[in-house]
Amino acid sequence: MPPRKSRGSGGGDPALFEGEPYNVDMMSKSRLVPWLGFGATLVAVAYLWHGGPSRMPADKKLAQADEVAATDLDPTRLIVDFRDDVSAETLANNGFTEIPISDYSAKDRLYRIEFPNAAEAAAALARLSRDPSVEFVDYESYASISPDEQTQEATAAGPGGGSMEAECQAAADPGGSFPNDACYKYQWHMRQLGMPDAWKRGNGKGVVVAVIDTGVSKVADLGETKFVDGFNFIGNNANAADDHGHGTHVAGTIAQSTNNKLGVAGIAYGASIMPLKVLSARGSGSVAGIAQAIRWAADHGANVINMSLGGPMKMGSMANAVKYARDKGVVIIAAAGNDGRGRVGYPAAYPGVVAVAATQFDESTTFYSNWGKEIDVAAPGGNTRVDQNGDGKPDGVLQHTIVPGNTSQTDYLWFMGTSMASPHTAGVAALIMGSGIRKPDAFLNAASATAAQTIGQVIIAASKDDTLPILTGVRMEIEDDLITLLATDRYRLAMREVPWKPATPGISTSALVKAKTLNEVAKTLGSSGDINIALADDDSRLIGFESGGRTTTSLLVDGDYPKIRSLFPDSTPIHATVQTQELVEAVRRVSLVAERNTPVRLAFTQGQLHLDAGTGEDAQASEELEAQLSGEDITVAFNPHYLIEGLSVIETKFVRFSFTTAPKPAMITAQNDVDGEDQDDYRYLVMPVRLPN
């Protein structure tokens, strides 16, 4: 591996600083879109997480007889979710004829029971709700793609929409830009998520996304996308090809083949698609089949489930399936619905499901999107009725799919709907999970991560010594669409780069903000979504932060901040990679045994890291961890408190140490894979403790 190159301008001792002029230029109010892992690439209009442990409905009989007339339920059919351990003998002797939903019913014990009339079905529902072998019983219900959405999709390739096949299959950009997909220029919705910069961090490799929809057909622009085995719950077979067009479009947003000199791009193009067909060619299907697909996906290795579909009624069997998948570590994402009203449909409204509303090019909520307290996040869903970006094309979500109503043909089509917003979220989930975050609640935390985590990564390095007021601040440097936060206490230095959306393009300014102020902002505003930042345009030296209707203002710190960027080395010939959490725990254990503030030594050799603390009569402790080393063996010692603080704000599975020589500062960065590249948007520079001899 070649020596690391950094954007710094020279080496240095972090205890020696030079002065730097400090100026505050006029900046109008702008919106900070935090960049924290991949999760905050979502265009948020609401981060109202109802997460936490998945909850089960208390009542097995969710659908009462008097509800049937007002909902899309079949009053003569029941869906019965028996306990998984119920025996075949019990089923045979209960007085009912159970019809399997699919072959998978042999595992999940979900069956349909049909009756000649509604009265007999109602009596059976009452009886089965008291049966100890039954977990849930509901009237059969149906879910579908929104009728309005289907109407729009059916006309997307018509005279008004126009075919994009020829243009999108044309030769790629001769300039060699990334990605080189011919029609990526029309995917405004990708750029709103921070693409292509997000792809520098990963592409979802190793993550399996189940698309529970109309099926997925491997059209030309999915040619390089990986597929895993799926299932057809409509036909009860393994052929999960699309006969509608909706599911293929959804899958393209998640993992369209990217940088393949063809068509358009997908968010997590390194992820694998698991096609699960639960909707017919007409765009509708039984909720029972969807419930089975959720469990099937969890049992067959899915990490993320996307459901761009919905219905008005909750069913115990689907709630049960959601809990089952969540308990197996699956992130479940669903569209909120396209009725333009304050009621979120199911499955999006179930606890444990990430409910997604839709935004358009100007990042406002679309006219069709549902809203409500269950909404977790909003993402681009598009609006084909407008052309706000002025590119001469409708502002829909563009992907390659089969043509609705003419499925023998393919085209690049603009669709709109919360059905399109949901796979944007699923794609981001795949990126997050590809970075090493695999638990559903951890994904929710990462996807809703706000300025709090960014601020927390930096303020740990700010000085707490009030006799050095300059160093108790965090320097905020703003250059166009990039904010850089820097802090140091002379013994360590933290730097975090954050893309944002300035109200004034090309802005260049800086401010020195009290670390205490930023800490309060993180605590009080950091979980409210986007944060607006405003600097006064007069001599008042004020900065303001606003989010969710709450504001915080503070005086800026006056003075010249040291030129600390130059402390980052130009190159690092030695670097070592270690599992982050294992290292944090090992440093804590070793430092606890030694006397307070005893340095912890890290000796890196090929394949191994040896940690120890304490010498002579002091208490001693040592541990060994696996490590990958590039360059010469090196032994360094650190203040354990500084080391633990720096490691604890890194959320990736691995961490990289980059060294010049043992006496010089070491740089710590995040790394997703043991053999991958590190992420340099957060850098933590820490001064070693000098060792004897």
The catalytic residues are: 213, 246, 419
Sign of CA dihedral 209, 210, 213, 218: positive
- What lies within 8 Å, CB to CB, of 176 at 6+ separation is none
Q: Tell me the angle at which helices 316-327 and 287-299 cross, rounded to the nearest 10 degrees.
A: 10
- Cα–Cα separations (whole angstroms), residue 236 to 74, 324, 655, 671, 690: 21, 22, 46, 43, 68
Facing residues of 334 across strands?
A: 307, 355
Q: What is the DSSP string of 671-693?
A: ESSTTS-EEEEEEEEEPPPPPP-
Q: Kindly report the backbone phi and psi dihedral angles of residue 32, in degrees, each rounded to the nearest multiple of 5, phi listed first.
A: -85, 120
Q: Could you tell me the two tokens for 405?
A: 């109503």
- What lies within 8 Å, CB to CB, of 268 at 6+ separation is 203, 204, 207, 209, 254, 255, 427, 428, 430, 431, 434
**What SS3 class is residue 7?**
coil
Q: Could you tell me the two tokens for 173?
A: 């950009």
- What lies within 8 Å, CB to CB, of 87 at 6+ separation is none
- Identify the helix (H) or strand (E) that includes residue 478: strand 473-479
What residue type is 536 in one-letter code?
A: A
Q: Kindly report the backbone phi and psi dihedral angles of residue 327, in degrees, each rounded to the nearest multiple of 5, phi listed first.
A: -65, -20
Strands 654-659 and 666-671: antiparallel
**Residues 34, 451 contacting (CB under 8 angstroms):** yes
The C-alpha atoms of residue 340 and residue 227 are separated, in whole angstroms, by 34
- Identify the helix (H) or strand (E) that includes residue 667: strand 666-671
Strand-by-strand arrangement of the 110-114 sheet: 99-100, 110-114, 73-82, 134-144, 284-286
